[in-house]
Amino acid sequence: MGHYTPENIVTNEDLVQIMDTSNEWIVERTGIEQRRWFNPDKDTVSNMATNAAKMAIDRAGIETKDIEFIVFATITPDYFFPGSGVLMQRELGLQGIGAIDIRNACSGFIYALSVADQFVKTGMYKTVLVVGSEIQSSALDKSTEGRSSSVIFADGAGAAIVQASEDQSGILSTHLHADGDHAEELYVKDPGSSRKVRLSKELIEGKTFNLTMNGNAVFKHAVVRFSEVINEALEANGKSKEDIDLLIPHQANLRISNFVQKQFALSDEKVYNNIMTVGNTTAASIPIAMSQAWEEGRFKEGDLICLAAFGSGFTWASALIQW
């Protein structure tokens, strides 16, 4: 695992300077104390992912040229097309290998991990690079009108090397779901291709280029789906909640994580949260959390790790990993 978070720290007090909000409201409702927003002169979605990937490559003890395929999860690509996967492939000097983008928002990393897992299990590839990288801050409405989402979302990247192995460790199973009925509860509408004109002054003024979220609806569905999909992963592997050594939930909101923790009666040591310092980084959230949890010694060989996510789409997913 590896990660990269932009240097630029944005505290709740910084937000108080640009919108009508308060540190107390943000901490109480979301748990976030600070987040990272990218530096437009330095950070791109693909180069943040490259930085995270280099850390993962180094820690995995492999060489960059060992990577045979790239799965890149992002809903904030550098270009409208092509995807950011090919841009990172170029930055890593891996011209020629396949690269795909996954656009499943907060569940994107688990979807990407699942794709990599299938390729490895079928024997098509031995070493796959999986990343989640996002720049959300440039899509946020930073006025008071947009405060309920702009205080949450943030930028960053995380990466994993998924490799074939002969022992029993690794990805035990992944579980992927979606319900398009709720597509507009959390979305960025423009620049939509089905518009007669993709870009216009009216569209910009209408704020349809900004992230729009019905926070209450997302929250209500999230707490139900998180539990369902964690249970699904446990049942599929004949495990119970007592077997979980570390739950790493997508960092949507600390209140959601705490709710899930209670439902599964997990102690504080068994749940990893870093939303307090990195905010909600969509597809990058789980790999950044895994990378930081590993650095902090929160899991060790043989541990059972459960990943779970919920987000735009709606999409939700889980993975059970024997480290």
Query: Which active-site residues does the annotation give?
Result: 106, 250, 280
> DSSP readout, 219-275?
HHHHHHHHHHHHHHHHHHTT--GGG-SEEEE--S-HHHHHHHHHHTT--GGGB---H
Q: Residue 265 carries which side chain, given as an amino acid letter?
A: A
Binder to ligand UT7 among 10, 112, 151, 319 (CB under 6 A)?
151
Contacts 24+ apart (CB under 8 A), 123-126: 123/164, 125/68, 125/69, 126/68, 126/163, 126/164
**Residue 127 Cβ vs ligand UT7, minimum distance, rounded to whole Å:** 30
The neighbour count for residue 196, using CB atoms within 10 Å, is: 5
Contacting range for ligand UT7; rule: CB under 6 A; set: 70-78, 177-185, 224-232, 252-260: 252-260
Interface with ligand UT7 includes 142 (CB under 6 A)?
no
* Residue 94 vs 218, nearer CB to ligand UT7: 218
Q: Token pair for residue 319?
A: 């993975």
CA separation for the pair 14, 33 (Å, rounded) = 11
Interface with ligand UT7 includes 252 (CB under 6 A)?
yes
Contacts of residue 38, defined as CB under 8 A and 6 or more positions apart, other chains included, come to 6, 8, 48, 135, 137, 138, 155
What phi and psi, each to the nearest 5 degrees, are found at residue 161? -100, 125
Binder to ligand UT7 among 94, 106, 157, 223 (CB under 6 A)?
106
The neighbour count for residue 16, using CB atoms within 10 Å, is: 14
Distance spanning both ends of the chain, measured CA to CA: 12
Q: Which H/E stretch holds residue 177?
A: strand 170-178
Q: Token pair for residue 77?
A: 């690509």
Tell me which residue has tokens 């550098």: 78
Q: Is residue 52 within 8 Å of 287, Cβ to Cβ? A: yes
* Residue 47 vs 251, nearer CB to ligand UT7: 251
Q: x/- site string to ligand UT7, residues 216 to 245, per CB under 6 A?
A: x-xx--x-----------------------
**Residue 61 Cβ vs ligand UT7, minimum distance, rounded to whole Å:** 33
Binder to ligand UT7 among 12, 30, 74, 318 (CB under 6 A)?
30
Site for ligand UT7 in 35-74 (CB under 6 A): none
Binder to ligand UT7 among 98, 170, 191, 215 (CB under 6 A)?
215
Rg of the chain over Cα atoms, rounded to whole angstroms, equals: 19
* Residue 16 vs 97, nearer CB to ligand UT7: 16
**Residue 57 Cβ vs ligand UT7, minimum distance, rounded to whole Å:** 28
* Residue 55 vs 278, nearer CB to ligand UT7: 278
**Residue 25 Cβ vs ligand UT7, minimum distance, rounded to whole Å:** 4
Contacting range for ligand UT7; rule: CB under 6 A; set: 42-50, 95-103, 250-258, 293-301: 250-258
User: Among all residues, whose Cβ is closest to ligand UT7?
Assistant: 215
Interface with ligand UT7 includes 283 (CB under 6 A)?
no
Q: Is residue 167 within 8 Å of 193, Cβ to Cβ? A: no
Q: Token pair for residue 130?
A: 């999986």
Interface with ligand UT7 includes 132 (CB under 6 A)?
no
Residues that bind ligand UT7 (CB under 6 A): 21, 25-26, 29-30, 106, 147-148, 151, 186, 215-216, 218-219, 222, 252-253, 256, 280, 311
